[in-house]
Chain A
Amino acid sequence: MTAPTTTAPAGRGFIELLLARRELLLISVIIATVIIFSIANPSFLSFAHLFGLGRSTVYVGLMALGVMLVLLTGGIDISVSAIAVSSMYLTTVTLMAFDYQGTFLLAVALAVLIGGTLGLVNGVLVTWLKLPSLIVTIGTLTLYRGALLAFVGTDRFRSLPAQMAEFSGFAVIRTSDNGRMVALHGAVLILIVLAAVLALALSRTWWGRYIYAIGDNQEAAERMGVPVRSIRVTAFVLSGALAGLAGLFYAAMSRTADPASLNGVEMTVLAAVVLGGVSVTGGRGSVLGTLLGVLLITIVGSSLVLVGIPTAWQQLFIGLFVLFGVGVPALRERRNERRRGMVVSE
């Protein structure tokens, strides 16, 4: 045991540590949730359910990483669901128009390109025209979706190009669960790899430093010579590109390309990111926290029914999680500000 450095009782210190490190807090909450759920219904811990959980984190997770980037720079991106569905549907329609039978990678490239372009539009509007990102992305959310449904089509495709459809069976771990073969979808691995790359880029490259610096103190970043506008644009572009990938995966994994799907997902994504400890005013947040936020929201969303709570109440829990996720650290921050004699303002 180490010598205590503060006079605070040990229990208090542990709670303080939990509150200070959002990732630890989330892991504890996730473990607690898993324990409660698996006591209430042992099938929670079945491979079938766990793999299913992993599968459903993918598209929210990908979008959440992008939204996290934008939030880190002090902006917000509401339009991800519209970008996801637009990229996915445009890609599918294009591939089908050319009766494309080649590799899935081309579909990926196309979806990422379309998503990135739509993200670029957001970025340019926000940084060059200096418009508020909330309003701009609420506008493009409606605009992208409206344009897609009005000018591209409203048909739902159930028979996707062969390569896309095959992706839904892309499994990495196979095991048997009560005599039934279940598999973990490969997209989970892709999400983890992308998240790791992003985490490395954020912590090791100057680009990552600049992303945090801009959200932390934009004026200081400008004075230190950071190309603030271009860096902010990269965040929007990446957010769009990741959303495009998320949309494509969503369609491929559900074997359906529906231009009306993913409606309202932006709220779940934002909830997950905020719950993951990413500050809405910028400068604070991590990839790990974001993924944990996504995981917690997915567990609660897809598992309530296992413990006998009707899915109808799911949204309530998501809301409460967001409020706690935002509120508890805020209260702690307010207390610190009070102690340090700061006149509080946003």
Chain B
Amino acid sequence: MIEARLGPRAHIVLLGALVVVLAGTLSALAPSTFPTMRNMQSMMGQIAPLAILAICIGITFLIGGIDLSIVAVANCAAITAALVGEAMGPDAGALGIMAAAGSALVIGLLAGLTNGFLIATLRVHPIPITLGTMSVFIGISTGITNGATVFGNGYMSGLSTATVVLMPMTFVVFLVLLALCTGITLKTRTGFHMYALGESDKVARYSRLPVTRTIVMTYAASGVLAAIAGLIMFSSTNAANVSFASSYLMQAILIAVVAGIDPYGGTGRLWAILLGAAAMQMLQTGINMSLGSWSGSAFASNFIWGVLLIAVLGLSKWLSTRKHRTREAEVEEKLEEAEAVGSA
């Protein structure tokens, strides 16, 4: 009934198989270091902020857009948290944490609303808009910090060290956010509108769906999620800088594409971001394990991400056209059968 919105199931099966094969291979190759609780926890902690950024890309992809400003927003939020925390002083305690985190989230929300408002009212493609706001957010962050790294006084570190049911708190935050977004997209009217807008904004407008509201809400959510990712990054390093995590934008797009979310909009399952993120992190760990001693390993993994992005995209395109043809052919067959029966 809603397969067209979810996308080809084969994609998910393949992705699941990839995760299992990667986990198996890595466990077999490094039985003493890979399948350990410590390694699992460390992997979850590492991937959490990136995976949350992938949700930003995921939801904006769903409505047929893209948010290129997420890393800039994340850094801007982290810097805000650091500066507010500093202003509150080291003894502010819980109030300090609330103020720092709260202001970071507000910054994220404002940034997202700006994106959404500009895209919805100007009706320009989101690439130049979010590119422009990205520059603005980077510019503001650079201007305030003068490009220097700002440090917190450690009050946020609890977020990155705490564990819930043996999982790092940050990863649990990601899981909760992912579940929430998946639920909204699949189970609410707003979610239906998001898919519709992504499938064809023209049809959505002619059907008089609340297009503007959906666009603004989606980008606002993307901004808030990016701010949360920024807070998590800040909590783990206790430092914020405008140039941190510059490779995360590409990697977040990669996770979303690997998870089977159509960059042209209208198709995808958000929860598959969990699988995409898992595959990504295991590949990263695998690369680190096998190439760790080589100085070029970080660059080699970038190379691999690039190849992977294009390969997965090509494969997914091929799968979806094939799937669509099969579905049409099935209907045709059944119709012919029905007609044969009717005329007999």
Residues of A at the B interface (CB closer than 8 Å) are: 76, 125, 129-132, 134-136, 138-151, 154, 263-264, 267, 270-271, 274, 280-281, 310, 312-320, 322-323, 326-327, 330-331, 334, 343-346
Contacts and interface: CB of A to CB of B under 8 A. Distances in A.
A315 B138 contact: yes
Contacts of B297: 150
| 9 interchain residue pairs of minimum CB distance | A316-B139, A143-B306, A319-B135, A146-B302, A146-B303, A319-B136, A315-B139, A149-B299, A322-B132
Could you tell me the dominant secondary structure of chain B's interface residues? helix
A135 B311 CA distance: 11
B27 to A, nearest CB: 26
B322 interface: no
B253 A135 contact: yes
Interface stretch (B18-26, B185-193, B199-207, B233-241): B199-207
Contact of B133 (A129, A263, A319, A345): A319
B191 to A, nearest CB: 21
A150 B296 contact: yes
6 contacts: A135-B309, A142-B306, A142-B309, A315-B136, A320-B132, A334-B123
A319 B132 contact: yes
Contacts of A281: 125
B213 interface: no
Interface stretch (B142-150, B269-277, B328-336): B142-150
Given A316-B143, A345-B205, A271 B135 contact: yes
A310 B148 CA distance: 13
B139 A136 contact: no
Nearest to B304: A146
Given A313-B142, A344-B123, A139 B310 contact: yes
B122 A334 contact: yes
Given A135-B257, A138-B250, A346-B201, A318 B139 contact: yes
Contact of A322 (B135, B302, B304, B307): B135
Contacts of A312: 142-143, 145-147
B139 A142 contact: no
A84 B316 CA distance: 30
B123 A320 contact: no
Contacts of A280: 124-125, 127-128
Contacts of A313: 139, 142-143
Could you tell me the dominant secondary structure of chain A's interface residues? helix
Given A134-B263, A150-B296, A344-B205, A310 B132 contact: no
A86 B133 CA distance: 29
A326 B124 contact: yes
B317 interface: yes
Interface in B272-310: 295-297, 299-307, 309-310
B98 interface: no
Contact of A136 (B122, B125, B310): B310
Given A130-B317, A151-B296, A318 B201 contact: no
B303 A142 contact: yes
Nearest to B139: A316
Contacts of B342: none
A135 B304 CA distance: 15
A322 B296 contact: no
A223 B54 CA distance: 40
A345 B201 contact: yes
Contact of B135 (A263, A318, A343): A318
Contacts of A147: 299, 303
B162 interface: no
Contact of A134 (B127, B247, B302, B307): B127
B304 A346 contact: no
Contacts of B128: 270, 274, 280, 322, 326
A343 B207 CA distance: 11
Contacts of B142: 312-316
B66 interface: yes
B71 to A, nearest CB: 12
A271 B310 contact: no
Contact of B139 (A138, A149, A314): A314
Contacts of B338: none
B302 A76 contact: no
A316 B250 CA distance: 22
A76 B127 contact: yes
B137 to A, nearest CB: 8
A330 B302 contact: no
B305 A331 contact: no
Contacts of B317: 129-131
A145 B304 CA distance: 11
B203 to A, nearest CB: 9
- Of the listed residues B122, B297, B301, the one surrounded by the most CB atoms of chain A closer than 10 A to its CB is B122
B282 to A, nearest CB: 19
B313 interface: yes
Contacts of B137: 319
Contacts of A317: 139
B302 A142 contact: yes
Interface in B170-215: 201-202, 205-206
A139 B309 contact: yes
Contacts of B131: 267, 270-271, 274, 322
Given A146-B304, A323-B129, 5 more contacts: A129-B317, A131-B317, A138-B309, A315-B135, A334-B122
A280 B205 CA distance: 22
B122 A310 contact: no
